[in-house]
Copies of this chain bind each other. A is one copy, B any other.
């Protein structure tokens, strides 16, 4: 009987969950893979912090980075600290010391993944990261193994539970953005600094990771178009509903004639799609392959035990293999993606114009859109004659981002416009 020794960097929510699963499910884990897993050391910032769960008396807690990384008595290093500085150092040293690494750190992978995969390859060790995208949902393994025979046409996901919780609360309980964010923070769904979640940055990290595993290509984070949910108002949620849509923060990558189009953006999702039904802080991903068709995955995108479940799946997988496959393209180097310039992306759109209620407004808006090849599908104007500002909402047929950008730049300079126009893509299928 073999015992696999684990060193864990970071013992917060996920680390604690991992330790609990190792203890509570050890019989089924042993039956499944014939191995025992034992935590030998844990790196923490504060040795004196009160903790809900301790993984047994034999586990050495340390706050000394050198002591942690130099321990020879380790098979797999588990990085659960987050961030890109100390975490990068720990992962690099572990790989160079010939140890497998399991990480939940999408930020690190998005920024430095290519470099880290190279170090792992040089040392013939695994760098696994199932938990870095969509928590407990087995999306990395599924794309890497189960859908490996497919040419991936697109991946569309709800990849950030905090943003989805906020949008769901706005939709279900009629809250405005600020109130919903406040509530998410109070309930512990949003971090003290929610920037990464609400500005789409966390989802962007995940899109970069998904793009690599699906296409074997690197779409640099810095080039990814990213838009958050902070400009969405209660009225947008209600307009969307009237038209038969729910607003979701979407992370997407798709193959458009051999080029990759990727991005993070809020979108109106047709209510009949399963993606529109993803509530609260859940995550979901739809992968479309040229053989499998659309495959949809839904589950807990974060949290102690769900993320711990994904971390442990990686640990168990690495404990069984002599030939780890980190990128899913073991026979091809990860090369720079051939990127579809964002302005050439096409989509149906939702525009909410904020205007003064004057004669000729609708005509001016329609004329400008038509001049930029944008064809209107539906239009709604609301409000009372006394309102200082009223919303005019259009949905459009397919238009290019370029045309949309130039039309809206022109419109936003028109004298009757009271605030910057909000535009969102529409996803129907």
> A residues touching B (Cβ–Cβ < 8 Å)?
17, 21, 24-25, 28-34, 130, 136-138, 141-142, 145-151, 216, 274, 277, 289-300, 303, 305-306, 308-310, 312-313, 316-317, 320, 323, 325, 328-332
CB contacts (< 8 Å) of A21 on chain B: these are: 149-150, 291
CB contacts (< 8 Å) of A17 on chain B: these are: 291
Q: Evaluate contact between B146 and A31: CB separation under 8 angstroms.
A: no
Q: Evaluate contact between A25 and B291: CB separation under 8 angstroms.
A: yes
Rounded to whole angstroms, the CA-CA distance of A31 and B137 in the bound complex is: 25
CB contacts (< 8 Å) of A33 on chain B: these are: 148, 330-331
CB contacts (< 8 Å) of A292 on chain B: these are: 136, 299-300, 305-306, 309-310
Further 13 A-B residue pairs, CB within 8 A, beyond A25-B291, A291-B306, A293-B305: A21-B149, A138-B146, A138-B295, A146-B310, A147-B309, A147-B313, A148-B312, A148-B313, A290-B305, A292-B299, A292-B306, A293-B299, A294-B300
CB contacts (< 8 Å) of A312 on chain B: these are: 148-149, 291
Please give me the 4 A-B residue pairs with the lowest Cβ-Cβ distance, nearest first. Answer: A138-B146, A34-B331, A149-B312, A291-B309
Given A33-B148, A33-B330; A274-B293 close (CB under 8 Å) = no
Rounded to whole angstroms, the CA-CA distance of A48 and B150 in the bound complex is: 31
Rounded to whole angstroms, the CA-CA distance of A136 and B142 in the bound complex is: 11
Q: Evaluate contact between B137 and A295: CB separation under 8 angstroms.
A: yes
Rounded to whole angstroms, the CA-CA distance of A61 and B297 in the bound complex is: 39
In the complex, what's the smallest C-beta–C-beta distance from A420 to chain B, in angstroms?
36
CB contacts (< 8 Å) of A329 on chain B: these are: 31-32
In the complex, what's the smallest C-beta–C-beta distance from A283 to chain B, in angstroms?
10
Closest B residue to A143 by CB, please name it: B138
Rounded to whole angstroms, the CA-CA distance of A313 and B150 in the bound complex is: 9
| 7 chain-A/chain-B pairs, Cβ below 8 angstroms | A25-B149, A31-B329, A33-B331, A149-B308, A150-B309, A297-B297, A320-B325
CB contacts (< 8 Å) of A138 on chain B: these are: 138, 142, 145-147, 295
Q: Evaluate contact between A149 and B295: CB separation under 8 angstroms.
A: no
CB contacts (< 8 Å) of A28 on chain B: these are: 150-151
CB contacts (< 8 Å) of A308 on chain B: these are: 149, 291
> Which of A28, A34, A146, A216: most chain B CB closer than 10 A?
A146
Cβ 8 A contact of A146, one of B29, B141, B293, B298: B141
CB contacts (< 8 Å) of A290 on chain B: these are: 24-25, 305
> Which of A138, A149, A313, A320: most chain B CB closer than 10 A?
A149
Q: Evaluate contact between B299 and A294: CB separation under 8 angstroms.
A: yes
